[in-house]
Amino acid sequence: MRMTGTALNVLSFLFLGFFLGMRHATDADHVVAIATIVSRERSVAGSALIGAAWGVGHTITVMAVGAAIVVFGVVIPPQLGLSMEFAVGIMLILLGVLTLTGIGRAVGAAHVHAGVRSGHTLDLHDHLHAHGDYVHRHPHGHHLGAHGHTEEHTPLARLDRSWLGRIALYEWLRPFAVGLVHGLAGSVAVALMVLSIIREPIAALGYLLLFGLGTIAGMMLITLILSAPFVFTAVNLPKFNWRLRVASGLVSFVFGLVLVYGIGFAEGGLFTGAPTWEPH
């Protein structure tokens, strides 16, 4: 009877790890990063897979770092802990920059109309249009030679033709890598919390695994919710979709700058004389 009670307690704690993992997925930096990534998605199902890729990357890091702490008693020094969190800020800045540059004007108006006869200049106009999931605006016309660039010359098409395009499932590498970085920032706190409650390494690792599975499920749900306005407006309201994407890029960039300053240069930061760090 006593063994049954103990088993139920352990089982309850493991399920708690799953639901805490789902809640962990809603942290502000996670939501900002995944919203920036899914801003160019046109499929709800594809967005859910992006959330899963992020969650898998996050879980791998949590399991790796958590296992080092739980099983081998590794101690994370303040400089390393701050560096892991600092990397999240840098990553958010890069996501913002990539998003903003990806939806900017692909070709300047002077280059667009080079060589076009003056008799066609009245046909030129400026509105949003798309090549696949690449939505942008620049002056162009609809007669031959007045568009400014072909579909093969958009930034995303160039990326598709690069060495990345030859990697299977490469479109999920970005959210996977982002999840890996985010896992670095939160894994230490999760592992230390588990270690303070569960002394048995196997049970602690089981908790971390369920925490990771909960994070995957939570992030898939979040991406489904976040992607809905992008998917709807991409077809029905392209101009508003463009503005949403600009907003997501700006939010990611500014949020990353705030994290970089707070973690790197504020009192007790990574680049100060006396760095201090508490896992959270």
pLDDT tens digit string along 270-280?
999 999 998 87
pLDDT tens digit string along 204-214?
888 899 999 99
pTM for the full predicted model: 0.76
pLDDT of residue 82: 94
Burial of 219 (0-12, 13-18, 19+ CB in 10 A): buried
pLDDT of residue 105: 44
- Residue 121: count other Cβ atoms within 10 Å of its Cβ: 12
pLDDT of residue 5: 61
Q: Please indicate whether residue 151 or residue 213 has the higher confidence score (pLDDT).
A: 213
pLDDT of residue 184: 87
Residue 274 vs residues 38, 80, 258, 263: alpha-carbon distances, Å? 39, 13, 20, 13
Q: Does residue 259 register a pLDDT over 60?
A: yes
Minimum mean pLDDT range among 66-80, 123-137, 211-225: 123-137
pLDDT tens digit string along 86-132?
999 999 999 999 888 876 543 343 344 444 444 444 444 444 444 44
